[in-house]
């Protein structure tokens, strides 16, 4: 009579098999997400530091308009006034300074080491305006010898450009009085007859330029050598201010005026967050995309890299426009989704295959234990059939009981119970074979 063996309780799952399959799969998935997380861009800060320009200048005017656009998207634009382009450049180059963005006049860098700076494009024409007093009509800078010239404050792009052009015409501190005045201070000096000539660089609607265009007794110089300047200084463009373009009713200016113009350039330090660069370019598109005295609608902003390499983020913006998600979602939501999309890589590359193969691996582990006992049982049966006299019946039955007891302790989930009971019925068949073939 066969000895009764206590059956190990059946469970819905095998915890051991779940751990043996689940833990490596989980480790692989976590490793994949960790690796993908290394490529997630950090969240953009809630503010952006920009260096603008002197009070009343066009840089300050436009930065204020940028600020309003960025504020609608939950980003604070922190303005840092300056003397002008040269100071802005120094701030960007100073690693201890927190300036990330600055407005610069093209030609400002002039070979300075700018490896960590990138151009975000040209924003608008920034003409050089030369205003003067006197009855004599002036159209050449060589005529300025012996006069008092307000050429811009120290650290300004106006001063640098004025000195370049004056040097080309043989005018310097030896034959003229060079005053370090710019912006509204230069305007006051000209109106107060403390200066004879004023150099200004900026948009026509900047406070300084606008006030002199309407000042009595003040004239705007039309540069006879404009074409020559453009050839000598590649960062300059030749412009024509048409008669009456400023004010047709007052006929300002009273005749066509030829000017030269650098480009206002938006420059970013490499530390600026790509998402904020994209947002700032959207603001620039809104502010500078309209028509003006010197530009057609949609002409600006545009790709420009006279002094600095073009930012890859800016290049992407000029080619594709506003990022796809930002066309339909708020800035913060679009940016969050854009940052998280990289996490879909391990989801599709690892999670889906794991979900596909993990159940099969789990099933294989459970079945392999049952198949191993089948092998032992089959080997015993074949041995009994081939050489029944090798052992006594009691010894054969003892071997079978050891196999049966092992079978009863196999941790088998409920889903595989049918295989376990089939194996047990086969134990009974081998038992009958032993009773029939083995000697008593």
| Mean pLDDT of the 222-232 span | 96
The residue extents of the domains of the chain are 15-34+344-437, 43-122+266-322, 127-261
Taking residues 179-186, what's their average pLDDT?
A: 93
pLDDT at 11: 54
Output Rg (C-alpha) for the chain, integer angstroms. Answer: 42
- Residue 13 has a pLDDT of 55
- Tokens at residue 137, please? 């009509």
Residue 1 pLDDT more than 70? no
Residue 359's DSSP bridge partners are none
How confident is the model over 256-281, as pLDDT tens digits?
Answer: 999 999 999 999 999 999 899 999 99
Whole-number pLDDT of residue 237:
95
In this prediction, residue 37 carries a pLDDT of 59
Report the chain's mean pLDDT, rounded to a whole number. 86
* Range 177-200 average pLDDT: 95
Predicted structure pTM score: 0.68
CATH architecture of 127-261: 3-Layer(aba) Sandwich (3.40)
Residue bearing the bigger pLDDT, 362 or 245: 245
Look at the chain and count its residues.
440
Q: Going by CATH, does the domain composed of 43-122+266-322 fall within 3.40.190.10?
A: yes
Token pair in block for residue 85: 């382009």
At residue 412, the pLDDT reads 74
Helix (H) / strand (E) containing 117: strand 117-125
* Residue predicted with more confidence, 67 or 353: 67
pLDDT tens digit sequence for 287-306: 999 998 999 999 999 998 77
Confidence check: pLDDT of 12 > 70: no
pLDDT for 385:
85
Strand partners, 259: 239
Confidence of residue 137 (pLDDT cuts 50, 70, 90): very high
3-state secondary structure (DSSP) of residue 359? helix
- List phi, psi (to 5°) of 239: -125, 155
> Given a cut of 70, is residue 426 above it in pLDDT?
yes
For residues 310 and 121, is the Cβ–Cβ distance under 8 A?
yes
Query: What secondary structure does DSSP assign to 194-254, as a single string?
Result: S-SEEEEES-TTSHHHHHHHT-TTEEEPP-TTHHHHHHH-TT-EEEEE-TTSSBTTTTBSS
Local confidence band at 112 (pLDDT 50, 70, 90 cut-offs): low
Res 429 pLDDT > 90: no
Same CATH fold, 127-261 and 43-122+266-322? yes
Phi, psi of 341 (to 5 degrees): -60, -25
Residue 84's SS3 state is coil
Q: Which residue has the higher pLDDT, 400 or 175?
A: 175
43 vs 339: CA distance, rounded Å: 8
In the prediction, which pLDDT does 5 show?
47
DSSP H or E run through 123: strand 117-125
Q: What is the pLDDT of residue 18?
A: 67
pLDDT value at 367 more than 70: yes
Per-residue confidence (pLDDT) for residue 434, from 0 to 100: 82
**What is the band of 432 on the pLDDT scale with cuts at 50, 70, 90?**
confident
Q: What is the mean pLDDT of residues 68-75?
A: 93
Q: Is the pLDDT of residue 4 over 50?
A: no
Neighbours of 323 (CB within 10 A): 18
For residue 88, pLDDT over 90 is answered with yes
pLDDT of residue 387 exceeding 50, the answer is: yes
């Amino acid at each position: 009579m066969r000895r009764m063996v206590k059956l190990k309780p059946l469970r819905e799952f095998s915890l051991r098999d779940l751990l043996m399959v689940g833990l490596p799969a989980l480790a692989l998935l976590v490793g994949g997400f960790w690796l993908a997380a290394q490529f997630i861009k950090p969240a953009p800060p809630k503010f952006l530091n920009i260096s603008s320009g002197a009070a009343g200048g066009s840089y300050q005017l436009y930065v204020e308009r940028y600020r309003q656009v960025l504020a609608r998207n939950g980003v604070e634009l922190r303005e840092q006034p300056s003397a002008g382009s040269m100071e802005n450049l120094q701030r960007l180059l100073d690693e201890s300074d927190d300036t990330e963005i600055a407005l610069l006049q093209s030609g400002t860098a002039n070979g300075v080491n700018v490896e960590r700076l990138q151009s975000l494009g040209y924003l608008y024409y920034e003409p050089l305006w030369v205003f003067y007093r006197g009855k004599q009509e002036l159209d050449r800078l060589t005529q300025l010898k012996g006069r008092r010239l307000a050429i811009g404050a120290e650290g300004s792009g106006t001063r640098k450009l004025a000195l370049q052009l004056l040097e080309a015409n043989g005018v310097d501190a030896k034959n003229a009085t060079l005053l370090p005045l710019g912006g509204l201070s230069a305007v006051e000096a000209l109106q107060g007859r403390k200066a004879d000539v004023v150099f200004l660089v900026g948009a026509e609607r900047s406070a300084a330029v606008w006030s002199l265009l309407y000042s009595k007794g003040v004239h705007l110089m039309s540069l006879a050598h404009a074409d020559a300047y453009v050839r000598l200084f590649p960062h300059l463009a030749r412009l024509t201010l048409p008669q009456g373009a400023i004010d047709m009713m007052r006929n300002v200016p009273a005749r066509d005026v030829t000017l030269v113009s650098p480009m206002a350039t938006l420059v970013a330090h490499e530390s600026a967050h790509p998402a904020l660069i994209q947002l700032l370019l959207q603001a620039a598109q809104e502010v500078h995309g309209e028509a003006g005295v010197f530009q057609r609608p949609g002409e600006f902003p545009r790709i420009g890299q006279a002094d600095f390499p073009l930012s890859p983020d800016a290049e992407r913006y000029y080619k594709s426009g506003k990022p796809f998600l930002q066309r339909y979602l708020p800035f913060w939501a679009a940016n969050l989704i854009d940052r998280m999309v990289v996490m879909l890589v391990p989801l599709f590359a690892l999670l889906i295959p794991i979900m596909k193969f993990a159940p099969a691996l789990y099933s294989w582990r459970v079945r392999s234990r049952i198949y191993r006992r089948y092998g032992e049982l089959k080997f015993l049966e074949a041995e009994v059939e081939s050489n029944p006299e090798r052992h006594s019946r009691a010894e054969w039955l003892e071997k079978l009981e050891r196999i049966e007891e092992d079978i009863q302790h196999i941790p088998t989930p409920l889903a595989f119970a049918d295989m376990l009971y089939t194996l047990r019925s086969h134990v009974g068949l081998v038992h009958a074979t032993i009773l029939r073939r083995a000697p008593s």
